[in-house]
Amino acid sequence: MKFFIDTANLDQIKDAQDLGILDGVTTNPSLMAKEGITGSKNIMNHYLKICEIVKGDVSAEVISVDYNGIIKEGEALASLHDQIVIKVPMIEDGVKAIRYFTDKGLKTNCTLVFSSGQALLAAKAGATYVSPFIGRLDDISTDGLDLISDIRDIYDNYAYETQILAASIRHTMHIIDCAKIGADVITSPLSAIKGLLKHPLTESGLHKFLSDYKKGN
């Protein structure tokens, strides 16, 4: 399973990269705004900075919701760097644009997916990644993990190459559960990824080893 970090914060991206487990980055307009990155030129430059840090795919989201606008923005984003993946919303014109980008050999990430039917359409259009938002489904008392499982079954039935990128990860157990179900990728806050490091028996065991060492040295 690939590990992406869901942020536009360069320090967090560097931290994850230094940990040696980072496979890519996902961003969105909200994450850019959170870091104070505004204006088209500044946003484009920020994507380039991210690509300089990480070796894997970097999802960059279009703002347009009409076909021609999505194509124009997507091609501009893709021209920035060969690591850029064009992030396109799951709407009718978005699906059309994904097919266009696929035929052009450009990588895409179909975002804001909340049903297996939407994921099926994204795969049919040739999306590189599909991003089901499991945390947001949990927020409305729907099990987001069930959606990951359903998409996995459908994709395996027909050997679709689209990768399931579990998004809206809220905590460490989401990562574990996605790994069990067979998500190809998770994109997560750094805190949830680092949560995988922690276990009380590891901490107490290390404390005991160090304490015993000090007694004899």
Each residue's pLDDT tens digit, 75-125: 999 999 999 999 999 999 999 999 999 999 999 999 999 999 999 999 999
Q: At 167, give phi and psi (nearest 5°).
A: -115, 175
Give the structural domain span for 212: 2-216
Q: What's 146's domain CATH number?
A: 3.20.20.70
Taking alpha carbons only, the member of 166, 191, 185, 161 closest to residue 57 is 185
Query: Which of 16-25, 77-86, 88-97, 205-214 shows the lowest per-residue confidence on average (mean pLDDT)?
Result: 205-214
Given 87, 194, 198, 215, the catalytic residue: 87
Strand pairing of 84-89 and 2-6?
unpaired
Whether 194 shows a pLDDT value over 90: the answer reads yes
- How many structural domains comprise the chain? 1
Whole-structure pTM value: 0.95
- Residue 123 CA neighbour count, 13 Å, CB half: 22
Taking alpha carbons only, the member of 204, 198, 194, 213 closest to residue 22 is 194
87 is catalytic: yes
* Local confidence band at 161 (pLDDT 50, 70, 90 cut-offs): very high
